[in-house]
Structure 1
Amino acid sequence: MKTALSYQIYESTIQLPENWNTLASKNIFLSKEYFEILEKSAPTNMICHYISLFKDQNLVGIAISQFLDLNKLESFGDRDRCVKSSVRKFILKNFSSHVLLIGNNMLTGQNSFIFSDSISTAEGIKTLKKATNDLKSKFKSMGKKVHITTFKDYTQKDVEEFTTEVFKKNYKYCIQPNMTFDIRDEWKSEQDYINSLTKKYRDQYKRARKKAEGIEKRKLHLEDIIRHEEIIYDLYHHVAQNAPFNTFFLSKNHFRVFKEILKDKFLFYGYFLDGNLIGFNTLIKNGDTIDTYFLGYDDTVQREKMLYLNMLYDMIAYSINKGFKEIIFARTALEIKSSVGAKPIEMYGFMEHSNSRINKHVSKIFPKLEPEIIWKERNPFKE
């Protein structure tokens, strides 16, 4: 007879099983160290829980859940000042302000769970669905009714595992793609990458590099990050505030804590003009993948100096030089990322509203919440 899986929900990394990281070694974003960062510097409107799955007392799965309270947000993003934006804010505040998700709302991609080979993905997901019911009860006892439960950021291949009876009332949605950049085996240097571009995009590269003359790029260490913390947060906050849609804002100490805990696996690059910090970007080493993380910039300088595009080229150069296989450029700025060679991967999620009447209409409501992004895919490479 097949052994049913059991699960345990934890509030703190101190409670995690000792061998947690044996599974987490496949993804830094499910490691104890990364969870420690969240404990010390998660957004103020986020509560994290960690879930372990057991089969015959053996650890066979690990996962993260996040509860988001959208009522605590100062804004949902100020870029789109239109009727649709107002409708979105009204719906979110009144019907969907408490969201429970299996996954990580601060990242793009499948950073929800890892299962060992001794269980099927379908089994693991089914057990995580049971765990969400426990979490909903837990939040209810704290006076926080969960409106929406969602599993997020899965590829088309992952989605096949969700076709069970358990998810039949869930709405399958498609959100902005994850922009990923594959590093070719033959690229050993940045020049190899440049040589592979068509003339139009080589010219774009040269123009961007010329515009950035006078800007000094520096790798910042922990003491530098602490010293510049105020301006770093201002630069980040400016970019976040002008995004089309936000569900959280980072805490001021977030980058400092990241560097303290992940050390050399977390890279922070500052861009200086006339001695002043005018922009930064961050990278995370995750096995043979580089994950791009949050960035910030002074908008006036960014336009004039093509700073954002230069940051993308710098990320590509670093990743090639250090022998990484791919870069996760995540969401947003799809067209410009496409122009440097990133490709879109469609991402899916499953959601269910706690109110059965609203749940029947989620397929009509959700498209009104997701900002519409119109963009054109580019191919900068020679055929």
Structure 2
Amino acid sequence: MNIPAALQSIKKSVIERNKERKRLRGPADLQYAIADSVTMLDAGAWQTLAQQCGFFMSIEYLAALEQVLPLNLSARYALIFDGLGADRQLVAAVYMQLADISLAQARPEKPAEPEKKWTLPLEQLAQHAKQRILVCGNLLSFGQHGIAFAKDVDTKLAWHGVVEVLYRVRQAEKLAGKTHFVMIKDLHDPYIEQAAHLDNLSYRYVETEPNMVLTLAPEWKNYDDYLASLASKYRGNIRNAIFKPMDEAGCVIENLADLAPVQDQIFALYKAVQINADFRPFELLPEYFVALQAAAAERFRCSVVRQNGRLLGFLISIADGDTAIAYHIGFDRAAAGDLPIYLRLLHAGIADAIALGCKQISYGRTALEPKASLGAKPQTFGVFVRHRQPVLNKLMKRLLLGIEHDDAPERNPFKKAKPGKTETEN
């Protein structure tokens, strides 16, 4: 090996990296409008950018969400322009959330003990040791719901603008205290590749658990069509292990047209699941679900399990373009000990997505095995994070990002194509 040549290559690489780092640390040649409410910004400009990004970047959704955000979250918004005056060009819209999170939220919630009048020092530390996180994206959903780029934009310039917006917001928030983490949430292709150069600005990419996506075949006009497409073993398991015990217990699936009369019941079912989560960055407000239904309108579906009139579980799905986002779920944990309520709700999500006219279902992270058994496949998700260095922050970073995560199992529940036929001919 030619050592001088190799050293020359390393030197060139270091120079290029330092040059890129210097560029990113400097201001982009862009202009910004940053606000505490989406209603303070140019509505036409925001909608122009957001309409190609779906429901979760729409003004209707974001304005409604502002009114029912969890108590430890607050929203920030930005529009990025290239140029001034009438000739200015839209570059991107950015949605952000500031979250105050304690270490106690990074583990399942312990049940209250009325007779206990004192807490251990570690319990007190967990309650009071808080981290402030600036998130580019939406903690209440999964997916890239934080940035809407203009068509044919220079992505390198646009990303430079995004990180400058995050820097400006973080600096402004010093009045309320230090921001320990900056996170760009739930990126997938092509965004991961576009943002790869942000490592020059100390953003670190961390892969999280995958998003499980079920592709809906065009010929499936209803849930029975999906069921008929499954191999006999899977179809039999669903009928015997899910449908049969639910039917024998007198459980029925219904679609709720109006959540307002059962708002408190829906919240209680959500809370029953939420308190057992390993990481709980927020707690939804009871009125959130009704506000979400009003904002989503015809895009909204809520399937519920009832037993003798009592609600045992729910699944909320929203049509976001061609994708049904099946993401809010709750169920009675005691009843779920005897009945496959969670699995039945996952199947209800298929019926809802087909009824909404969607082409795929985004089931999100966690519970990879049952979602894979439906036929869902993993979509790589990750975050970019920039953080400070104290030991406490390193611990929070590990808990926050879920660095150690499970891989989705390989499952193919569908019938195999017969010789001489394609899969679509089955």
Do these two structures clear the TM 0.5 threshold for a shared fold by scoring above it?
Answer: yes
Which amino acid in 1 is paired with 2:243?
R
Measured after TM superposition, the shift of residue 91 of structure 1 is 8.6
Q: Give the Cα separation in 2 of the matches to 1:373 and 1:350.
A: 16
Contact 1:70–1:93 under 8 Å retained in 2: no
Q: Give the Cα separation in 1 of the matches to 2:372 and 2:163.
A: 35
Q: Give the Cα separation in 1 of the matches to 2:48 and 2:238.
A: 42
Greater shift, 369-378 or 27-36, is seen at 369-378
Within 5 Å, give how 1:113-124 maps onto structure 2.
Answer: 113-124=147-158
DSSP 3-state at the match of 1:78: coil
DSSP 3-state at the match of 2:380: strand
DSSP 3-state at the match of 2:185: strand
Counterpart for residue 322 of structure 2? 288
With over 3 angstroms needed to count, the CA separation of the structure-2 counterparts of 1:321 and 1:268, relative to structure 1, is closer
Counterpart for residue 76 of structure 1? 106
Q: Give the Cα separation in 2 of the matches to 1:6 and 1:118.
A: 18
Which amino acid in 1 is paired with 2:99?
L
Counterpart for residue 216 of structure 1? 252
Measured after TM superposition, the shift of residue 365 of structure 1 is 7.5
Counterpart for residue 168 of structure 2? 134
Counterpart for residue 133 of structure 2? 99
Kindly indicate whether residue 62 of structure 2 is the aligned counterpart of residue 15 of structure 1.
no
Contact 1:63–1:113 under 8 Å retained in 2: yes
Kindly indicate whether residue 222 of structure 2 is the aligned counterpart of residue 189 of structure 1.
yes
Q: Any idea what the Cα deviations from partners look like across 1:215-245, whole Å, max 9, x if unmatched?
A: 22222233xx222222211110010111122
Greater shift, 47-56 or 320-329, is seen at 320-329
Q: Give the Cα separation in 2 of the matches to 1:262 and 1:248.
A: 21
TM-score by length of 1: 0.88
Measured after TM superposition, the shift of residue 345 of structure 1 is 1.1
DSSP 3-state at the match of 2:375: coil
Which amino acid in 2 is paired with 1:17?
D
**RMSD between aligned alpha carbons?**
2.8
Measured after TM superposition, the shift of residue 167 of structure 1 is 4.0
Q: Give the Cα separation in 1 of the matches to 2:275 and 2:202.
A: 34
Contact 2:322–2:359 under 8 Å retained in 1: yes
Kindly indicate whether residue 237 of structure 2 is the aligned counterpart of residue 204 of structure 1.
yes
Counterpart for residue 20 of structure 2? none
Q: Give the Cα separation in 2 of the matches to 1:146 and 1:324.
A: 39
Counterpart for residue 319 of structure 1? 353
With over 3 angstroms needed to count, the CA separation of the structure-2 counterparts of 1:61 and 1:368, relative to structure 1, is closer
Counterpart for residue 15 of structure 2? none
DSSP 3-state at the match of 1:228: helix
Q: Give the Cα separation in 2 of the matches to 1:358 and 1:158.
A: 30
Within 5 Å, give how 1:236-315 maps onto structure 2.
Answer: 236-315=270-349
Q: Which residues of structure 2 form unaligned runs of 5+? A: 1-27, 112-120, 417-426
Q: Give the Cα separation in 1 of the matches to 2:295 and 2:357.
A: 24
Counterpart for residue 414 of structure 2? 381
Contact 1:25–1:31 under 8 Å retained in 2: yes
Contact 1:53–1:60 under 8 Å retained in 2: yes
Q: Which residues of structure 1 form unaligned runs of 5+? A: none
Counterpart for residue 38 of structure 1? 65
Which one scores higher on RCO, CA 8 angstroms, separation ≥ 6? 1
Q: Any idea what the Cα deviations from partners look like across 1:344-375, whole Å, max 9, x if unmatched?
A: 112111111134x769x95x984465274446
Contact 2:213–2:379 under 8 Å retained in 1: yes
With over 3 angstroms needed to count, the CA separation of the structure-2 counterparts of 1:192 and 1:168, relative to structure 1, is same
Q: Give the Cα separation in 2 of the matches to 1:308 and 1:320.
A: 19
Identity of aligned residues (%): 28
Which amino acid in 2 is paired with 1:203?
G
Q: Any idea what the Cα deviations from partners look like across 1:153-178, whole Å, max 9, x if unmatched?
A: 11243211123366441221111111
Greater C-alpha radius of gyration: 2
DSSP 3-state at the match of 1:329: strand
Q: Give the Cα separation in 1 of the matches to 2:138 and 2:357.
A: 27
Of the candidates 98, 107, 110, which is equivalent to residue 144 of structure 2?
110
With over 3 angstroms needed to count, the CA separation of the structure-2 counterparts of 1:69 and 1:267, relative to structure 1, is same
Of the candidates 79, 92, 96, which is equivalent to residue 65 of structure 1?
96
Which amino acid in 2 is paired with 1:221?
A
Which amino acid in 1 is paired with 2:181?
I
With over 3 angstroms needed to count, the CA separation of the structure-2 counterparts of 1:368 and 1:329, relative to structure 1, is closer
Q: Any idea what the Cα deviations from partners look like across 1:6-52, whole Å, max 9, x if unmatched?
A: 22111112212121212212211011111112211111111111111
Q: Any idea what the Cα deviations from partners look like across 1:79-111, whole Å, max 9, x if unmatched?
A: 799xxxx999979964x7111111111111111
DSSP 3-state at the match of 1:97: strand
